[in-house]
Amino acid sequence: MISFLRKHSTPILFFLLLTLLILAWIFPAIGLRLGILFLLFALVTASFAIVGKHRELYRQGKITRWAFIRNAALEILGVLLAMSLAGWLGRQVAALATQGIGDDLIRVLAGLVVGLLAGIGIGFLVRQTWGRLVRIAK
């Protein structure tokens, strides 16, 4: 079961996000709660993957216990920073880009695309910067 989830985690998370967007569209009152729940789920999933990666390096003897703890904590903090910055910047840029659009559906789709592009850009920058802080001894 766990190997199935690891193998198909990307499509599962994508369809979960799509389902949450549809539910938020249908039930706007719980949209914020669903969004927060999805973000927490994504952060926990990413944290498990990060700890698993560094734990395997620790078991192989490539890093010390202190390096394992430091690298895992820094990488989880980097993911949290990237998620926060991407959400904030994505919201600002999407609001700026869609302020002249009158149709609701086109506005939502344009906001999603612009916010996604802003999030990818922030993720790339944080990954480049954080990669310099978290060094794995070989």
Output 87 or 56, whichever has higher pLDDT.
56
What average pLDDT is seen over the chain?
A: 80
Mean pLDDT along residues 121-136: 72
- Tell me the C-alpha distance between 89 and 95, whole Å: 10
Alpha-carbon dihedral angle through residues 50, 54, 55, 59, given to the nearest 10 degrees: 160
Residue 85 confidence (pLDDT) above 70: yes
For residues 16 and 18, what is the distance between their CA atoms, to the nearest angstrom? 5
> How confident is the model over 47-75, as pLDDT tens digits?
888 888 888 888 988 888 898 888 888 88
Tens of pLDDT, residue by residue over 6-19, are 677 778 778 877 88
| Burial of residue 15, with CB atoms counted within 10 A of its CB: 0-12 exposed, 13-18 middle, 19 or more buried | exposed
Single-letter residue type at 5: L
8 Å CB contact between 134 and 71:
yes
In the numeric block, the tokens 């927490």 are attached to: 40
| Every domain of the chain and the residues it spans | 2-133
